[in-house]
Structure 1
Amino acid sequence: MSDSSASYHISSAVIMTMPHMRERVVATLAEIPNVEVYAHEAGKIVIVIEGTSTGMLGETLSRIALLEGVVAANMVFEHVETQGEIGHDRRTDAA
């Protein structure tokens, strides 16, 4: 039996890089578990991080901030759902 109160966190973040290091940083990000590169242009990279806690997301973002070529790594948005909410149709109209 699964815990219906278990939470799942999804966050977006913007990574600023030295422009000449962007491709190297994108390649490194692609290898990090639970990180997806959504878009990149010039020295900016938009990523999505997934995990089981805000702390996990923060730890991943802190590791990213320390990568060679990264100037800044900032969380933009975080969404949290509990296990009981995932996959449920939330329609309230009478279909």
Structure 2
Amino acid sequence: MDDVRHISSAVVIAFPHRCAEVAARLEALPDTEVHYVQDGKIVIVLEGASTGEVGSRLAAIGLMDGVLAANLVFEQIDIQDDPGAVP
């Protein structure tokens, strides 16, 4: 059985004076990492088992208080073969 992971990056635009607060809330989300914060722009990486899971989380981020926009930039689907499987 293959293990599928969807890895996506996104840019979140927040009110500059609330950027640190929004970044802290993003860091608290599961499978979400904050990689860059400056002048209202936050770059994040999201991981999930499906496009729907990642998309739902990004949609929820877009509705967070203090967030102006959340836009997907890149998505990669990583399929890892079961290391215990016999070829």
| Structure 2: unaligned runs, 5 residues or longer | none
Alignment correspondent of 1:66? 63
Q: RMSD across aligned C-alpha pairs, in angstroms? A: 1.5
* Structure 2 residue corresponding to 1:54, chosen from 51, 58, 63: 51
When the two structures are superposed, what TM-score results if normalisation uses the length of structure 2? 0.90
- Which protein shows a greater Rg? 1
Count of equivalent residues = 83
Matched, 1:18 2:15: yes
Gaps of 5+ in 1: 87-95
Q: Which residue of 1 aligns with 2:32?
A: 35
Aligned-pair CA distance for 1:74: 0.1
User: Once the two structures are aligned, what percentage of the paired residues are identical?
Assistant: 46
Instruction: Check if 1:45 corresponds to 2:42.
Output: yes
Q: TM-score, normalised by structure 1?
A: 0.83
